[in-house]
Chain A
Amino acid sequence: MASAQQNISVSGVVTDASDGSPLVGVTVLVKGATGGTVTDVKGKYTLNVAQGATIVFSYIGMEKREIPVKNRVINVKLQSDSRVLGEVVAVGYGTAKRVDLTTAQSSVTTKEMEKTVNTTLEQALQGRAAGVYITQNSGQPGGGISVAVRGVSSINGSTEPLYVIDGVQIPGSQVSYGSTSSSNPLSGLNPSDISDVQILQGPSATALYGSRATNGVVLITTKRGKSGDAQIAYNFSYSLQEPPKRMDVMNLPQYAQMVNEYHSIAGGTTPQEFLDPSILGNGTDWQKELFRTSAMSKHQLSLSGGSEKSTYYLSGEYLTQDGVALGSGFNRFGIRANLDTKPRKWLKMGLNTSFNQTVEKLSSSSEDVINNALQLTPQIPVKNIDGTYGGGDLSKPEDKFAPVNPIAIANLVTNNNTRRQFMGGTHVDIDILPGLTFVTSLNANLNTQNSIYFRPTYSIGWAINNTATMSDFNGVNTYYNLNELLHYVKSFGKHNIDLMGSHEASEWTYKNNGANINTFITNNIIDVAAGDQTTADLNGSGHGSGAMESYLGRVNYNYGEKYLISASVRSDGSYAFGSDKRWGTFPAISGAWRLSKESWYNISFMNELKLRVETGTTGNQGNGGGIYSSMSPAPSQWGTGFLPSQYSNPLLQWESTKTNNVGLNASFFNNRIQIEADYYHKVTDNLLMSAALPAYMGTQGNGGLGAPTVNLGSLQNNGWAFTLISTNINTKDFKWESNFNISGFKTKILTFNSGVKSIDRTSWWMGNWTQRSTVGQAPWLFLGYKTDGIFKSVDEINNSAVPVDNNGKRLPTDVNNVWVGDVKYKDISGPNGVADGIIDVHDLTTIGNPWPLFFGGFTNTFTYKGFDLSILLTYSYGNDIYNYMKMVDSNPQQINIGRNLLTSAENYARLVTDANGNVSISNSGTNLPRITYSNNGNWTRFTNRWVEDGSYIKLKNISLGYNLPASFISKQSFIKSVRLVASAQNIFTLTHYTGYDPEIGSYVGNNASSANQAIGIDNGRYPLTPIYTFNITVNF
């Protein structure tokens, strides 16, 4: 009996096998028994054990050792765990050992991603990787996301990275124009199929992708089978998504009171029913009607395994998600099969295929229902007594401009976007000689899109649609990429050489057909065939193609894994440029020095230290077409007429970005703490963009000439990224690990070629809200006036700068012009650069910056026996948000057009006149202007009054997992393991921002286009809301 055996005291020192340094905090346990200890600062331990027992030594980053007790002194040397330092990661056109990397590259593993509830891939990356700034453009299910790797590398073009999914290259696209603009082109990927994401950031890594790599490269590897027993896993998750916090808009008595006050000051008739607000009920709470708690569920089944020679991974997924706002939803199903086989010693073949379908409901975004819910007045019922939808009354002048009932519209309008995607590839690897491999691969991507937009006939108050209209858009796009690659690896002595050379050709095509039709016999059959055929017409038809050819090569050399050097070059030929400018060359070189490998290196607590330096050039070819001007057709009185569509620019050339990067990797206490730090300096020249021409060049109107695509100017990005990964506590039962990352960038525009000082981007659909890019500053700062509060007295007006009339003369000081209670603007400048005592265009200045100073994420994972708890915080600091929603909904003049207001609008400046005729403000603390039609521009000028600090810390996710104990599972043989997870997402945000949510990405809506997508403005966007999820995974 074991109990009869005598306990003895065993002691010893645990050291690092590589250098003999003592290891602190090594876990020392008795196998199969309770109790244990950890080593002290000198690496010593003492433990009472039964004779004949086995002691287990484990330490993060080291291989575990089990030693049977034979002596009373057991000194142990632990070897580095090659699985940590020897970890092999994907790099461009190959793989590399992580320790051998000479470039900045961050990775996110499936284990981390699975902690959060992710409908789409980019959501999974948020907060996980340094240097990657991710903002969600819309909380709409499946909605689009903005990803910026290492700052802003383009003024008007896309700043999205290149995604390489198992070899299929997909340039990230920002938005499409029109009713499907809020959708996300990468939403078809099932995040559960992804095994690993590598974000290439350093120029040495990205230059290998040459012309498409300026914005960074995201390498995505999907899961593959491992030889051995088949693994069968079924996963089900169910989530409840909560409505957002309620914006404080007026209820019916408050609104009626405001209408009374408004009319008593500004004139106009108050409707009879509003005259006595005290007798009114609360009216309709439109937010309550619009938002709901909604469900999301996901089923995932995967099967993987294989023999020595062949492996497989098969999976299927079905996800369905309702949005918290009516008129939104997302569902996806997808299947994947990844196969690998090695039929001969010298031959390997692989195949990966996936198919998915997504269906997005987009009407909540395209119909702007959230804004309308905030603005529709409370006296209008959702439904009238007779069951019809309520709406503004035609007989009331102000009601004629009231928004249309958002509940009705969300229910009535169909805006469904269906995408089907086939993505796959095959490759053949042939070993020609030892170390020399030839790989040929063909990767392809086929996408189809169908979007249906149907507006039925309806009668909602004044809004009467007598003619049902429909548009049916179909698009197909294809992509293929054929690559041949030779790869040679050779080691002799301490010299390690890795050579790669490749040729690649890719071609893509698109074809679109759209049809519009109207006048339907019934609202129930949504098909072009059901409309009045005489009204049918084509819309949005077109097709085109693009192509690229590339030669690329890379040399990696290292000496004893101590001195590492990598050089690469890529030459890209692109269809986007004329034959003289067609080819661009993108070289890069990088080196690293692993000081810790030097014989003289003796910093015992820092077991790994690597310094890196790299420089390289990447490019951007834009979207093509800039060298031609096509003739754009339209109907005229005499058949089809044609107008040139744009100014062509045959001299267009490559945009190029030169990046210098220094970095270091260090590991402490045997990898218990790992840090990675990088600093970079990027200069982008020959920026490809649409020239900012004044409207007098005929570029702004309907039928106008598109501005030419030009190489206009340069900009620079300086930035840094820091990652700290640590194991804070590691005992037998309890483990605490952290992953902290922080990064920042500063973008500065250096020049615009034509001497232009600034370029504006105006959102005409938001009152001409404008963002400006000025030389010497960051791109797209908010443009507006600075305010000095509200005029408190006539004297103050007479002693201040005030706006001018059309003739440049000061507006008079009176009620109809500038008066007490009006906004006081700061006199910033004049025509000669000095303040001139009047407010005019010279006083427009930048009033906000949409870019953060720093941002990142912080993950803590606690493991205790079968439980694990993970907490992810994401944060952003220093970015501004223009709260457009709040500005609009605080403007009392909205009453004229039948709009509701925020309750804070009650605090408008109230004027009182004393016995001496002096006017002052009774609620003197207010910063909302008086009610007036005056010429001061209180509500038409954008000011810093509505710019808010967008900094936040968000408890992005907290999840608690539990693995059912083996002792419990082993009672049967059918199920191998069960894991349960409960998690909550977006539950708490620490911020000063007063809108729904400070996470504001780029504007998405009907009017967004990739050349004009406002950043950092909150127009009542679809917010991210809390999600509570239960998840079960069963392995069979």
Chain B
Amino acid sequence: MKNFKYNWIAIFISMLILTGCSQDFLTRAPEDAITDGNFYKTDAQVMAATSLLYNRVWFDYNDKASYEIGDFRGGIAYNPWGQQGYVRFNLTGYDPDMIAGWNSFFTVIGQSNMAIQNVNKYAGAAVTETIKKEAIAEARFMRACAYRDLVMLWGEVPIIENNQKLLNDTTISKNTISSIWKFLTYEMRSIANDLPEKAYEKGRINKWSAEGMLARFYLTRAGVESVGGVRNQQFLDSAKYYSNRVITMSGKSLLTDYASLFKYPYDNNNESLFELQWVYSTIWGVSNSTPAYLAYSSDIANGDGWGGSIGATWWILQKYEGINAYGVTGDSLKGRTLDQRLKATFMLPGAYYSEISQSVKTTSGKDSIQRLIYPNNTADNTTVAIKKYICGKAADMGGEASSQHYPNNTYMLRLAEMYLIYAEAELGNKTQTTDGTAMSYFNAVHTRAGLGAVTDPLTFDMIFNERTVEFAMESMCMYDLSNLYYYNPTKALSILNSQDRGLFAAHPDVFPNPTQWIFVKTAWYTPANGDYRTITATTGNFYLPIPTTELAGAPNLQKPAVDYYSK
């Protein structure tokens, strides 16, 4: 009996030992996702690793910061009751939308760097060299675009080419503006060499996207490297060279009708060089959310439409040909314009849009749908609402829309800009030009909008105004001012400081089917009431403040900027 019990002990102790688990028991990679080391094994996987660099990583910038910074801060549009940091040009480092922009640009940079390194590190034998080269060039292109926005908005920022090296490094400094632009033009030239003329898939960037971007970069760098307000001629010439190459060799062409650039579906049309590629999905972060905030009412939206108080500024309206000062008090404008860009960019009371559905109540109080007629309001302050990028209800977009989720793309570079870059580069440091190519390129854009050709010599102001009207609500104006600020800060600031950003009302002569409008500044909206019409832009607030939490968490950003190439 005693032996029997000792056997028990032996059995149990051996059980204790034998039940030790195998090594596999404790090895558990994620089971519902592929890990980085197992990815990048085929051409398709490598390209799938860059496809989200066209949407998701840009989302937080595109969401609100894009128009708030580019258009509100630039003076194209305003919201009298909100987003005052942009409208009044007094942002603080706490502004959540500005922080979202900062975060987004660095997300683009971080994920682009990660794509470059992972493709180099993990790409398998089955991946072709050309695909590797194309994917890496795409990532570098995205990184360069994010840096272009960062340096133009914030000034000095740190250049990061390898995030993983910095995981435990808190010493990185900002880089000087001049060295960032050197980096950007170097990069873009190399990217242009690496990208194929025909992209892997439609909508991806190709060689012409890179050359177009290079033209833009050179035009800017000419200002960055200006001496005494005189732009660098070599870079002006390069801008001219590359813009001309894209105009003449890319096979791209201007769409005949300006409005159709923004009528759904317009994505990846023949004027487009680079777009953020939004898709309709209920997943947060891959669709275009901007229309939710800009559409003036839920009547034309999809449960969103929160832009009821967002509209064109007085300043942009008086830039359209045909809308002129009226009376002598300086507080009224009147007129109509042949410029089709006004209707395609902003909604005037009575304007009719056949492509957008509008919920209305019939006289008997029933809900009904009609083609959009932007309503009239007799109040002393009204909104000239945003039209550009607003494509209506799901029914107007093939069912592909819901609240804050829209499929329509965001232009990042389109051919029209090449024409205007050429004209500006040709004008260069001269006060005016009558160069035939420059004139014809300028007029290509000008007449496409429905206006007559310009015959007077081109001046800077003409080109600047053309850009303002052509690209209004495409997040361009503040960047254009930044361009100018590099070589003529006084002028950039004086443009900003002379803009009228106050309340006004727009009245049609008849409703519906108006033929012209009268715009009247709101009488009670005066500085005496604590209101204002103009802002104070100075060298102190021209650039955006680095987010406060970022400065607190990374005090190294307070160190003086260093030349990226002098290390």
Contact indicator A643/B12 (Cβ below 8 Å) = no
B113 / chain A contacts, CB cutoff of 8 Å: 698
Contact indicator B549/A758 (Cβ below 8 Å) = no
Given A582-B26, A644-B36, A703-B59: A467 touches B303 (CB 8 Å cut-off): yes
Task: Specify the chain A residue showing the minimal Cβ separation from B201.
Answer: A638
Task: Specify the chain A residue showing the minimal Cβ separation from B558.
Answer: A831
Q: Is A2 engaged at the interface, CB distance under 8 Å to the other chain?
A: no
Task: Specify the chain B residue showing the minimal Cβ separation from A466.
Answer: B303
Q: Is A699 engaged at the interface, CB distance under 8 Å to the other chain?
A: yes
CA distance A376 to B319 in the complex (A): 42
Given A503-B20, A701-B57: A634 touches B25 (CB 8 Å cut-off): no
Contact indicator B25/A704 (Cβ below 8 Å) = no
Per-residue interface assignment for chain A, residues 489 to 517, with 1 indicating a CB less than 8 Å from any chain B CB and 0 otherwise: 00000000000011101010000000010
B277 / chain A contacts, CB cutoff of 8 Å: 636-637
B158 / chain A contacts, CB cutoff of 8 Å: 696
Task: Specify the chain A residue showing the minimal Cβ separation from B285.
Answer: A702
Given A464-B298, A547-B26, A702-B57: A486 touches B163 (CB 8 Å cut-off): no
CA distance A704 to B57 in the complex (A): 7
- CB within 8 A of A267: which of B99, B163, B525? B525
**Distance of A651 from chain B, by nearest CB (Å):** 11
Q: Is B510 engaged at the interface, CB distance under 8 Å to the other chain?
A: no
Task: Specify the chain A residue showing the minimal Cβ separation from B13.
Answer: A486
CA distance A708 to B110 in the complex (A): 13
Q: Is A598 engaged at the interface, CB distance under 8 Å to the other chain?
A: no
Q: Is B28 engaged at the interface, CB distance under 8 Å to the other chain?
A: yes
Task: Specify the chain B residue showing the minimal Cβ separation from A627.
Answer: B29
- CB within 8 A of B283: which of A575, A628, A635, A831? A635
CA distance A512 to B285 in the complex (A): 21
B558 / chain A contacts, CB cutoff of 8 Å: 831
B529 / chain A contacts, CB cutoff of 8 Å: 266-267
Contact indicator A545/B28 (Cβ below 8 Å) = yes
Q: Is B461 engaged at the interface, CB distance under 8 Å to the other chain?
A: no
Q: Is A438 engaged at the interface, CB distance under 8 Å to the other chain?
A: yes
In the complex, which of the residues B54, B108, B163 has the most CB atoms of chain A within 10 Å of its own CB atom?
B163
**Distance of A611 from chain B, by nearest CB (Å):** 36
Contact indicator B402/A535 (Cβ below 8 Å) = yes
Q: Is B403 engaged at the interface, CB distance under 8 Å to the other chain?
A: yes
A753 / chain B contacts, CB cutoff of 8 Å: 168
**Distance of B161 from chain A, by nearest CB (Å):** 12
A267 / chain B contacts, CB cutoff of 8 Å: 524-525, 529-531
Given A397-B81, A698-B111, A704-B107: A436 touches B9 (CB 8 Å cut-off): yes
Task: Specify the chain A residue showing the minimal Cβ separation from B281.
Answer: A635
Per-residue interface assignment for chain B, residues 17 to 36, with 1 indicating a CB less than 8 Å from any chain A CB and 0 otherwise: 10111010111111111111
**Distance of B438 from chain A, by nearest CB (Å):** 35
Contact indicator A697/B94 (Cβ below 8 Å) = no
A815 / chain B contacts, CB cutoff of 8 Å: 530
- CB within 8 A of B19: which of A505, A635, A641? A505
- CB within 8 A of B30: which of A438, A544, A634, A700? A544
Q: Is B338 engaged at the interface, CB distance under 8 Å to the other chain?
A: no
A695 / chain B contacts, CB cutoff of 8 Å: 99, 102-103, 106, 547, 550
Given A625-B30, A896-B81: A755 touches B279 (CB 8 Å cut-off): no
Contact indicator A705/B114 (Cβ below 8 Å) = yes
Stretch from B43-51, B179-187, B417-425, B427-435 at the A interface:
B43-51
Name B's interface SS: loop
B226 / chain A contacts, CB cutoff of 8 Å: none
Q: Is A426 engaged at the interface, CB distance under 8 Å to the other chain?
A: no
B window 41-73: CB within 8 A of A: 45, 47-52, 54-57, 59-60
**Distance of B84 from chain A, by nearest CB (Å):** 7
A990 / chain B contacts, CB cutoff of 8 Å: none
Contact indicator A505/B286 (Cβ below 8 Å) = no
Task: Specify the chain A residue showing the minimal Cβ separation from B39.
Answer: A631
Q: Is B308 engaged at the interface, CB distance under 8 Å to the other chain?
A: yes
Contact indicator B160/A696 (Cβ below 8 Å) = yes
Given A635-B286, A695-B102: A643 touches B166 (CB 8 Å cut-off): no
**Distance of A911 from chain B, by nearest CB (Å):** 12
Contact indicator A549/B282 (Cβ below 8 Å) = no
Contact indicator A549/B107 (Cβ below 8 Å) = no
Per-residue interface assignment for chain B, residues 107 to 122, with 1 indicating a CB less than 8 Å from any chain A CB and 0 otherwise: 1111101100010000
Chain A: number of interface residues, binned into ranges: 35 or more
Q: Is A632 engaged at the interface, CB distance under 8 Å to the other chain?
A: yes
Q: Is B454 engaged at the interface, CB distance under 8 Å to the other chain?
A: no
Task: Specify the chain B residue showing the minimal Cβ separation from A516.
Answer: B282
Per-residue interface assignment for chain A, residues 617 to 653, with 1 indicating a CB less than 8 Å from any chain B CB and 0 otherwise: 0000000110011111111111111111101100000
Q: Is B16 engaged at the interface, CB distance under 8 Å to the other chain?
A: yes
A693 / chain B contacts, CB cutoff of 8 Å: 167
A601 / chain B contacts, CB cutoff of 8 Å: none
Q: Is B565 engaged at the interface, CB distance under 8 Å to the other chain?
A: no
Task: Specify the chain A residue showing the minimal Cβ separation from B15.
Answer: A484
B308 / chain A contacts, CB cutoff of 8 Å: 394, 397, 400
CA distance A645 to B204 in the complex (A): 23
Stretch from A48-56, A760-768, A1026-1034 at the B interface:
A760-768
Per-residue interface assignment for chain B, residues 155 to 177, with 1 indicating a CB less than 8 Å from any chain A CB and 0 otherwise: 00110100110111110100000
CA distance A710 to B157 in the complex (A): 26
Per-residue interface assignment for chain A, residues 638 to 677, with 1 indicating a CB less than 8 Å from any chain B CB and 0 otherwise: 1111111101100000000000000000000000000000
Q: Is B497 engaged at the interface, CB distance under 8 Å to the other chain?
A: no
Per-residue interface assignment for chain A, residues 238 to 272, with 1 indicating a CB less than 8 Å from any chain B CB and 0 otherwise: 00000000000000000000000000011101000
Q: Is B5 engaged at the interface, CB distance under 8 Å to the other chain?
A: yes
- CB within 8 A of B530: which of A548, A636, A932? A932
Contact indicator A505/B21 (Cβ below 8 Å) = yes
B542 / chain A contacts, CB cutoff of 8 Å: 806
Contact indicator A805/B541 (Cβ below 8 Å) = yes
CA distance A854 to B28 in the complex (A): 43
Per-residue interface assignment for chain A, residues 440 to 467, with 1 indicating a CB less than 8 Å from any chain B CB and 0 otherwise: 0000000000000000000000001111
Stretch from A227-235, A473-481, A933-941, A970-978 at the B interface:
A933-941
Contact indicator A648/B160 (Cβ below 8 Å) = no
CA distance A756 to B530 in the complex (A): 44
A486 / chain B contacts, CB cutoff of 8 Å: 12-13, 16
Q: Is B399 engaged at the interface, CB distance under 8 Å to the other chain?
A: yes
Given A642-B52, A702-B60: A634 touches B28 (CB 8 Å cut-off): no
CA distance A660 to B430 in the complex (A): 80
B50 / chain A contacts, CB cutoff of 8 Å: 641
**Distance of A61 from chain B, by nearest CB (Å):** 41
Given A467-B403, A635-B283: A432 touches B33 (CB 8 Å cut-off): no
Contact indicator A700/B103 (Cβ below 8 Å) = yes
- CB within 8 A of B167: which of A269, A708, A764? A708
Given A543-B32, A641-B51, A696-B160: A464 touches B303 (CB 8 Å cut-off): yes
CA distance A933 to B87 in the complex (A): 13
9 other A-B residue contacts (CB within 8 Å) besides A266-B530, A630-B34, A631-B34: A394-B308, A534-B399, A574-B26, A635-B279, A694-B554, A696-B172, A703-B56, A758-B553, A760-B553
Q: List 6 A-B contacts (CB under 8 A).
A: A516-B282, A696-B160, A696-B554, A701-B57, A808-B540, A815-B530
A-B interface, 5 closest residue pairs, ranked by CB to CB distance from nearest: A698-B110, A807-B540, A701-B107, A641-B51, A630-B33
**B interface residues with partner A (beta carbon < 8 Å):** 5, 8-9, 12-13, 15-17, 19-21, 23, 25-36, 39, 45, 47-52, 54-57, 59-60, 81-82, 84, 88, 90-94, 96, 99-100, 102-104, 106-111, 113-114, 118, 157-158, 160, 163-164, 166-170, 172, 201, 203-204, 277, 279, 281-286, 297-298, 302-303, 306, 308-309, 399, 402-403, 524-525, 529-532, 538-545, 547-555, 557-558
**A interface residues with partner B (beta carbon < 8 Å):** 265-267, 269, 394, 397-398, 400-401, 430, 432-433, 436, 438, 464-467, 482, 484, 486, 501-503, 505, 507, 516, 518, 534-535, 537, 539, 541-549, 573-575, 579, 582, 624-625, 628-645, 647-648, 691-705, 708, 753-760, 762, 764, 767-768, 770, 772, 783, 805-809, 815-816, 831, 841, 844, 896-897, 932-933, 935, 937, 940
